[in-house]
Chains A and B, each alone.
Chain A
Amino acid sequence: MSETGIGASVQRKEDFRFLTGQGRYTDDINRPGQLHAYFVRSPHAHATINGINKSAAEAAEGVVAVFTGADMAADNVGSLPCGWVVNDRHGEPHKAPPHFPLARDKARYVGDHVAVVIAETYDAARNAGELVEVDYGELPAVSGTGTALDSGAALLHEEAPGNLCYDWVLGDEAEADAAFAKAHHVTKVDLVNNRLIPNAMEPRAALGDYDGGTDSFTLYSTSQNPHLLKLILCAFVFGLNENKLRVIAPDVGGGFGSKIFCYAEETVCMWASKKVKAPVKWTADRSESFTSDAHGRDHITHAQLAMDENGKFLGMKVDTTANMGAYLSSFSTSVPTYLYATLLAGQYTTPVIFANVKAVFSNTAPVDAYRGAGRPEATYVVERLVEVAAREMGIDPAEIRRRNFIQPDQFPYQTPVALQYDIGDYDASLTKALEMIDYDGFAGRKAASESNGKLRGIGFSSYIEACGIAPSAVVGSLGAGVGLWESAQVRFNATGSVSVFTGSHSHGQGHETTFSQLVADTLGIPIENVEIVHGDTGSIPMGMGTYGSRSLAVGGSAISRACDKIIEKSRKIAAHLMEASVEDVEFENGTFRVAGTDKEKSIAEVAFTAYVPHNYPEDVEPGLDETAFYDPLNFTYPAGVHICEVEIDPSTGVTEIVDWVAVDDFGKVINPMVVEGQVHGGIAQGVGQALLENCVYDADSGQLLTGSYMDYCMPRADDLPSFRVGLTETACTHNPLGVKGCGEAGAIAAPAATINAITNALGILSMDMPASPEKVWRLANEQKMAAE
């Protein structure tokens, strides 16, 4: 292994510019004559818009224009689409009420976009925003996931009676009932998967720039997938030829899913730039991020697990209500269905699984994919069930998992919930994790904690995820409106450096490093000679972007394929230069050699020849610039075991995570340091959900009660222990790199591990997230009183 090749912990190339303040984010970009947008947002969770008087705002200093939903309607601007059609249990498509960029008839959540003011400065726009008079007719609101379907609940959309978006099933209910009828024991849990606010470090921003000379637009946006944004805006929202829009997503400071989607603000900035004939910029302030970024999670679930007398799983039934918020965000419908219920087999051989998911509308911000997207919710269901089952059956939690693991010789393994796992070794990860945490020593550590007045607990999470999203034909058959392949263009420059154009998008993941290692290693060139270009639809082949831990497994595979094409073309050129037949030319570490001779040519020499083809094979085109599109054959299935150990102070209810072991199987690893960083960040987000974070809307008014960092509690370094990370490896069988993806694992595994540890410490079966100090204190006291 070279110091910069595959498998090396190369320091991140991109960090120099980020750490020295030289990153270039959307808000750093300014265009001549640029104006600023301020959005007038609904202060009410649910209200009719009876009229909007914009004359005072229009007359205010510095104001160029004020637009409302009526202005966009007059221009035939369409609805923001939801790109995944979920068919309900009767085969009917989900209810898809319109989601206009500026509300037309009603405002449906606090923060809903009602008007936009365009002015010479942001302050002028905001000042004038206060002068826009909106005549609201306040309506009753419903914000709770558990109350949205109540008869008499406020109705959000005429198109969705009873606030039901869909009632969807997966699996055979009768078979599941039959399995349950044979059960020795049935474990039942009621779970709330708390709503989260993504909180990317960089708020969303957009800059729309219309060019009258060519009648075309450039949109700078904080997007995780600029090509997809372009496709949605052109094909669905504006009815615009795709050659008339260029989307640029420059450096982006975190997304976690929330920047996948097509939002109202960027749509309005683009549209308005043509109306006012000037570039229009908007950058969210943090309050707007809280109210209007797509939120995550928000499920209520009743789940049951049937077992025989040995704790062998016979069947699972899961009943979930998922909150979609007020409108359907771009991929919202797929999250609690195809990204959730399909993962309910976990790492286990549960033969029959039945899931019923009802998606509901409520007067809250839209909910969509957030780091893990459906898979954390599934893992939470499975791993809470398994833990409670172990306690009820009196079986050690590690042992009950072992008894039910899919065994290495069972792969490929067809689960009862549609997915086919290609490979894994779940016991290997568990065994390593048990060793690392010193499971045998836990009883001693628990006793030591007890003598200090603390309650110690240990919790497991054996998670699996479906990543490398996704085989296009499969997702197409499930309702996706897009293919989920990825593209890569690998271009040798004449003097030997390489530019790689990838449809993946980095917003913190370290692609510039990992992809460079992959290319440098494959082509045998110095890593400094590789440049990774992403985020500009004007210079990169159509690509699908970054989410679902897909960048390396799908985007990296495309890069690998493009490198293969480069090598194959180069081999022909090298053969010509060395006067050998192509079959006799070998390639290794950047050099072509004629087998059995001392003739050799470096790939850089070949590249130069390709651009200066004075001595060149007749049947080969000049240039060395290859593009590949890679459509995965299957999902990848990263899996592993996380073990959390906590100590609780019963006098305050404070939970301290005292140890955390993560053993993950991500397949082949390109950069272990980058992978470890991803694992750390994922665990931090998962612990955030389990202990700290909670998005709360007032049940009656629908006001967001956790609208700032004063009340919305983000995890911080001192909330977390030093993670101990280990790897096991079963290489993915169906992509050229053997990689699986690592970006979401921590967030998927951590919530269940944390809650399993806390409930273990307290000697109880269940509690809801987040495990706030007061909640834990009350439960600890109840246990103490019960004992006395």
Chain B
Amino acid sequence: MYDFNHHRPGSIDAAASALSGADDGKILAGGMTLIPTLKQRLASPSDLVDLGAIGELKGICEEGGAVVVGAMTTHAAVAKDATVKAKIPALAHLAEGIGDAQVRNCGTIGGSIANNDPAADYPAALVGLGATVRTNKREIAADDFFTGMFETALDDGEIITAVAFPVPEKAGYAKFANPASRYAIVGVMVATGPAGTRVAVTGAGPCVFRLSDAESALGSGISADAVANVSVAADGLNSDLHASSEYRANLVNVMLRRAAAAAG
């Protein structure tokens, strides 16, 4: 990798000021995407602002009717957290299926959603559960947060602090993992609760999206049968070495049914 200045601030404010003081600063969270990118010399930031020493960004708590996950909480921590497992077991299940053990021990929820990889799992959780992203400047509804492939509503220098998930009545997540990378070729989150009945699909398209046909079909009760005939068009879905858009369209239906069955 190319040389860069490394900052390890102890507070969110210090992180924001380190970032604003840098020519071309980048935030380092768990580093699961950024570090390989740097090692391959595909990026050359002037400064890395490492959030690893900011204690207030880590941890999980219950706040009103929501489970709030600090931005620097690792996937492994979410997967084994007692509150998450009790209140939103589908979220724990999703976190447990991200990447591999090493990735889960380093990768964080904030890093994942800020990157918005179209094949990442968390975007489906946030959109499917109707979560709210908290930053050092504001709160952003998940529906407004993910704006396109690797694009989010975050402003330059804006730092995610936490994600608040309203506790659903029912939720289920099913994923078809890429056999090589274990990213989602298709991942579907089905949930019903304070945020309504929501279905979010990741992996299949350029960005996480809601499946309104499925949401209507599940309006009168969550079951696999209710969505048996919900289909998506292959047009516009991703197509690569591992899965054509046609195959992905099939997998959306299969994973939708499995997620609904898991939620029901």
Contacts and interface: CB of A to CB of B under 8 A. Distances in A.
Contact of A651 (B40, B242, B254): B254
B46 interface: no
Interface in B35-76: 40-41
A777 B247 contact: yes
A692 B182 CA distance: 13
Interface residues of A, number: 22
Interface stretch (A465-473, A602-610, A706-714): A706-714
B21 interface: no
Max count, chain A CB within 10 A of own CB: residue among B180, B244, B247 = B180
B251 A652 contact: yes
Nearest to A127: B2
B181 interface: yes
Contact of A692 (B2, B179, B181, B254): B179
Contact of B180 (A651, A713, A774, A778): A713
B180 A709 contact: yes
Contacts, number: 42
B176 A696 contact: no
A712 B244 contact: no
Contact of A711 (B180, B244, B250): B180
A653 B250 CA distance: 11
Given A652-B251, A652-B254, A774 B181 contact: no
Contacts of A287: 40
Contacts of B251: 652
Interface in B223-264: 241-244, 247, 250-251, 254
Given A651-B254, A652-B251, A774 B244 contact: yes
Contacts of B244: 774
Given A710-B181, A711-B180, A772 B242 contact: yes
Nearest to B248: A774
A120 to B, nearest CB: 15
Interface in A106-148: 126-127
Given A705-B241, A711-B241, A711-B242, A773 B250 contact: no
Interface string A674-698: 0000000000000000001000100
B179 A773 contact: yes
Max count, chain A CB within 10 A of own CB: residue among B179, B243, B244, B251 = B179
Nearest to B244: A774
Contact of B176 (A652, A712, A778): A652
B176 A774 contact: no
A778 B246 CA distance: 10
B120 to A, nearest CB: 13
A726 to B, nearest CB: 30
Nearest to B39: A285
B149 to A, nearest CB: 16
A777 B247 CA distance: 8
Max count, chain B CB within 10 A of own CB: residue among A287, A652, A711, A772 = A652
Given A651-B254, A713-B179, A777-B247, A706 B241 contact: yes
Contact of A712 (B2, B180, B254): B180
A773 B241 CA distance: 12
A774 B248 CA distance: 9
Nearest to A653: B247
Nearest to B100: A716
A651 B251 CA distance: 8
Nearest to A649: B254
Contacts of B243: 773-774
Contacts of B40: 287
Contacts of B254: 651-652
Interface in B161-181: 176, 179-181
Interface string A437-466: 000000000000000000000000000000
Contacts of A651: 250, 254
A127 B247 CA distance: 42
Nearest to B1: A123
Interface string A695-735: 01000000001100111111000010000000000000000
Given A696-B241, A705-B241, A710 B247 contact: no
A403 to B, nearest CB: 38
Given A774-B244, A774-B247, A711 B181 contact: yes
A710 B179 contact: no
A722 B40 CA distance: 37
Contacts of B176: 652, 773
B27 to A, nearest CB: 23
A713 B185 CA distance: 14
Interface in A643-679: 651-653
Contacts of A126: 41
A696 B179 CA distance: 16
Contacts of B242: 711, 772, 774
B72 to A, nearest CB: 25
Nearest to A694: B241
Contacts of A710: 180-181, 183
Nearest to B186: A652
Given A696-B241, A705-B241, A711-B241, A777 B179 contact: no
Nearest to B253: A651
Interface string A168-191: 000000000000000000000000
Max count, chain B CB within 10 A of own CB: residue among A651, A712, A713, A774 = A774
Nearest to A715: B179
B100 to A, nearest CB: 9
Contacts of B179: 692, 713, 719, 772-773
Interface in A74-88: none
Given A287-B40, A705-B241, A711-B241, A777 B250 contact: yes
Nearest to B3: A123
Interface string A272-294: 00000000000000010000000
Contacts of A777: 247, 250
B6 to A, nearest CB: 15
A95 B225 CA distance: 64
A774 B247 CA distance: 6
Contacts of A713: 179-180
B233 to A, nearest CB: 18
Interface in A42-88: none
A695 to B, nearest CB: 11
Contacts of B2: 127
A711 B242 CA distance: 8
Max count, chain A CB within 10 A of own CB: residue among B41, B181, B183, B244 = B181
Interface in A766-788: 772-774, 777-778
A778 B179 CA distance: 17
A122 to B, nearest CB: 11
A709 B250 contact: no
Nearest to B2: A127
A696 B183 CA distance: 20
Contacts of A719: 179
A409 B60 CA distance: 73
Contacts of A773: 176, 179, 243, 247
A715 to B, nearest CB: 9
A777 B243 CA distance: 11
Nearest to A770: B179
Nearest to B247: A774
Max count, chain B CB within 10 A of own CB: residue among A127, A705, A711, A719 = A711
Contacts of A653: 247
Interface in A719-758: 719
Given A651-B254, A711-B242, A774-B243, 10 more contacts: A287-B40, A652-B251, A696-B241, A705-B241, A706-B241, A709-B181, A711-B181, A712-B180, A772-B242, A773-B243
15 contacts: A126-B41, A127-B2, A287-B40, A651-B250, A653-B247, A706-B241, A709-B180, A709-B181, A710-B180, A710-B183, A711-B180, A711-B181, A712-B180, A772-B179, A772-B242
Interface of B: 2, 40-41, 176, 179-181, 183, 241-244, 247, 250-251, 254
Of all A-B residue pairs in the complex, the 7 with the closest CB atoms, nearest first, are A713-B180, A774-B247, A710-B181, A651-B254, A713-B179, A711-B180, A774-B243
